Structure 1
Amino acid sequence: MTEDGGRRGRHETEEERADRMWGELIQEVRVAQTGVQILFGFLLTVVFQPKYDRLSHSDQVIYIVTVVLGACATGALVGPVSLHRLVSGFRVKPRAVRLASRMTFVGLLLLLATMTSALLLILRVATHAGFVPYLVAAVVAWYLLCWYALPLWARRRHPVRPGDRAPDLPPGGPGPGRRQGRT
């Protein structure tokens, strides 16, 4: 609702909007959670394989970094579930949705880093070739295009009208990492 009590956009109250956005966010998080949990589970088994002891020190460091990134990504992407459970019934859903959205964004960044380091490790072990960093860079560029560049391009191409701006955004428009009005 606007300050004068009127409705805007989809004609939702602040609570209705928060409920809708929460549902959308949880659906999005389910996709990312599944991917990060499968990757993290796989990573946890690698250290118990006989070949792990034969990895170079550099590859073992990459592995450890990858596991830690995977653990952090899992925490950030499961975080919204815990947040919802702990604040449910306290009438803070709009704030909880904003916080959960930020945790999800951080979780996706950590998932990107986890996937990058896992790909680097796997390709280094599988090929021992000098082109591996370039191949990993190309894949990371693809992720960045799909996950960030295209969505940001779409957001800029189809801006929200000033009256439809989300209440938590500054008057100049969204900054880095902020949601657009109609999500």
Structure 2
Amino acid sequence: MTETANDNKDTRSETLDERADRNWSDLMQELRVSQTGVQLLAAFLVTLPFQARFAQLDTFQQRWYLGLLALAFLTVGVTLSPVAIHRHLFQGGAKPDVVRAAHVMTGLALGLIALLLAGIAFLVVDVVVSREVAAVGGGMTLLIGLVLLVGIPRMVAQNADQST
């Protein structure tokens, strides 16, 4: 393909296919980092019922745990979905579509990771201290996660848009 993908934001001279390949590579690097972290969190959650103290959780904590386990598995699935999309459409000439879908799924995964971390923080603080302190700790963890994973990236994007 000889069409170029230049626009106001990018001064690279590359074809649409070259840009899609570069964007795909960038997304895969990002997903490698997040997939490892999410898979470790899920593994941690899976092992909890086998700990002696797990039986001491009250009904609320057990249900919260099961919700977190489901959220962890959902997050693993979402972080793996770009690979599944790529596998399904491999060599089908749809790389720009694959990149767009992977971009959406990666953004969703980041939001789920923030929610998962906040939920885990809530559960741990609830078990160790109290439900009231856990609500504050979980809320603060969610707020910090959203600032770091959503707010700051949007600010950087806005600044980049304004500087072009």
Query: TM-score if structure 2 supplies the norm length?
Result: 0.90
Unaligned runs of 5+ in 1: 163-183
CA distance in 2, matches of 1:160, 1:16: 26
Contact 2:71 2:112 in 1 (8 A): yes
What's 1:61 paired with? 63
Q: Deviations over 1:91-131 (max 9, x none)?
A: 10000010111111111222222111111101111112632
What's 2:107 paired with? 105
The structure richer in helix per residue is 2
Q: Considering only aligned residues, what root-mean-square deviation do their CA atoms show, in Å? A: 2.0
Kindly provide the amino acid, as one letter, of the partner of residue 44 in structure 2: F
Unaligned runs of 5+ in 2: none
Query: Structure 1 residues 160, 59: CA separation in 2 closer, same or farther (over 3 Å shift)?
Result: same
Q: Secondary structure at the match of 1:11?
A: coil
Length, aligned pairs only: 160
CA distance in 2, matches of 1:63, 1:128: 16
1:9-158 equivalent positions in 2, closer than 5 A: 9=10, 10-128=12-130, 130-158=132-160
Runs of 4+ in 1 over 6 A off after TM superposition: none
Query: Structure 1 residues 6, 93: CA separation in 2 closer, same or farther (over 3 Å shift)?
Result: closer
Q: Secondary structure at the match of 2:50?
A: coil
Q: Deviations over 1:18-42 (max 9, x none)?
A: 0000000000001110110000001
Query: Structure 1 residues 27, 7: CA separation in 2 closer, same or farther (over 3 Å shift)?
Result: closer
Query: TM-score if structure 1 supplies the norm length?
Result: 0.81
